[in-house]
Structure formats: C-alpha cells, structure tokens
C-alpha cells in the first residue's frame, strides 16, 4: 500500500501492448478521467469504461457499462 503505483506508466504499457478497451472496476470511476487523459496524450484510439456509479448499482448499470465496452470493441459474450 505504500509503494509507488506508476499508474500512468502502466496505462501506457497496456496501450503499447495493444489494449484498446480499458475498464475501471470501482465503486465510482474517479480514475477513468486520468486514464482518458493518458490515452489522449498517447495519441491512441482507445475506450475507457467505468463500471459502477454512486447511487447506480445493479444490473442496469452493469449492462450499460457492458454495452459501452462493446461499443468500444470489447468482445462480449451476451449469453
């Protein structure tokens, strides 16, 4: 918990490895803004998706996020 995270470097490494859909799994997507900024700065076309929102949990929020990931090109098994 006390170590340096190197979040931007990790995001850039994922982009360099070809990942184009990045999902923030948290109770509220506060890190997604920083990820979007890193994606834009890297000049890569990639989507950033949050999962939950404050006061918005459950299946409706989940399926909205899943649909957003699919729209960005994620392979979704809808079954």
Mean pLDDT of 23-47: 91
45 confidence band (pLDDT: 50, 70, 90): very high
pLDDT in tens, 1-29: 688 889 899 999 999 999 999 998 887 77
> Residues 6 or more apart from 26 whose CB is under 8 A from it?
50, 51, 52
Q: What is the mean pLDDT of the chain?
A: 91
Q: Where is average pLDDT lowest: 25-29, 47-51, 60-64?
A: 25-29
pTM of the model: 0.83
Give the Cα separation of 9 and 56 in Å (integer).
30
DSSP state of 77: -
Question: In 3-state terms, the chain is what percent helix, strand and coil (to 5)?
Answer: 45, 15, 45
């Amino acid at each position: 918990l006390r170590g340096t995270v190197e979040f931007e470097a990790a995001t850039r490494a994922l982009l360099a490895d070809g990942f184009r859909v990045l999902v923030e799994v948290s109770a509220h997507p506060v890190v997604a803004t920083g990820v979007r900024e890193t994606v834009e700065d890297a000049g890569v076309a990639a989507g950033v998706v949050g999962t939950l929102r404050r006061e918005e949990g459950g299946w409706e929020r989940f399926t909205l996020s899943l649909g957003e990931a699919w729209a960005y090109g994620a392979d979704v098994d809808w079954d």
